[in-house]
Structure 1
Amino acid sequence: MNKKTHVDSKKKDIMQAAMRLFATKGIDGISVKEIGEAAGVTDAAIYKHFKSKDAMALEVFGQYCNSYTTLIDFYRKQSGSFISRFHQLVDEVLVMHDEDQYGLLLLSQHHELYVEASQSSNVRQPLEALVEFIEQGIRHGELPKQDAQLSGVLIIGAITRLSVSSLEGELPQQLIPFATEVKERLTALLSQGQ
């Protein structure tokens, strides 16, 4: 049992290091050796957990996609007004960013592996979940009629850009202090309709 925990922690360390490097340098910009150095493990330890760098990138990307998709679906299924649930979602996304700023950066990457994974029928994307959430608000009369796909793209683009700006020093590293203003502006976007 103790050995399994050690193995699991090493895989977690590898995935954390890979996620940071993939998010900041891209998949093609780093090597397995660099990931190993960042995780404090050997190349052999990496290959024990992953067939290749691409397989590792897909698993890391899938994990972050799933976590954000699951979060959006959670708030879509809750009771209460659309706006209050949407505000809770934005708060939680900003908390997640402040705890691990690289996850949102990773989701904004456009490497062919991620595009392929995004188009796979068995990987549900955060955008798909957000569009369904917005459509729910429209159906219930809480949002004006609008192109939910376009609104979802604009919201995800704004949130991922906040993360990029935070990393590049254009905004502070912690985004929670901007939560009220971010929620107001994103709500205004949704409230405009067509």
Structure 2
Amino acid sequence: MTKNARFTLIALTILGLVVLRSLYLPSNNINLFSLQPVQAQDAPSENPQRFRLENVWQRVYELLPDFPKENQYISKETGKQATSNTLVGRLIRYHLFVKGRPPIYRLDWKLTIADYLGVNEIMFDGVYPGGDTLRENPMDSDRAVITRLTRSQRDALVNTLVSIFNPNAAAESQPTPKPTPKPTPTPNPGRSLPPLPQPGDAQQLQL
């Protein structure tokens, strides 16, 4: 192969690679990082990062205005009252980040409540939310507050949390209405039955 033929072959190979690159690679105007799967946007996700926890606990207190806030603790950093560090916020962080439980099922939230009541898994103050940012670790006080709640109050908290993280839960839990049965006709006791045919009736019809 001559030098010119070899140079022509190399040039054609480079040209072919450039053409293939232009056909199969996306243009620079497309932002690949902005594309997200559709199912990840539509379906309820167990990933707690989709939710801003501040918005969640604030929504809980909007729906349950009488629920204890327990936000009287002092921040180590500022030396002021940490009003945004609430009982519900700590309970949510404990559920999601300490125990790693999904937020869309009632059973998992009931397990977390059972931890606070001391009838499920052991809670450790060293990893409890707020223990490293507040001057006083709020774990024991939070457990005492949850223990003093009535069963209906605890159920209301669980149902509210599930309804926020999984809005479809309410519709899924509603029973399917049963069709109304049609009434069965009953015989009228006051209505007399026609008399049975008697001998000679056929002859009377011929008259």
Bin the TM-score by the shorter chain: under 0.3
- What TM-score, normalized by structure 2, do the two folds share? 0.21
Higher relative contact order (CA 8 A, sep 6+): 1
TM-score if structure 1 supplies the norm length? 0.22
Whose helix proportion is higher, 1 or 2?
Answer: 1
Larger radius of gyration: 2
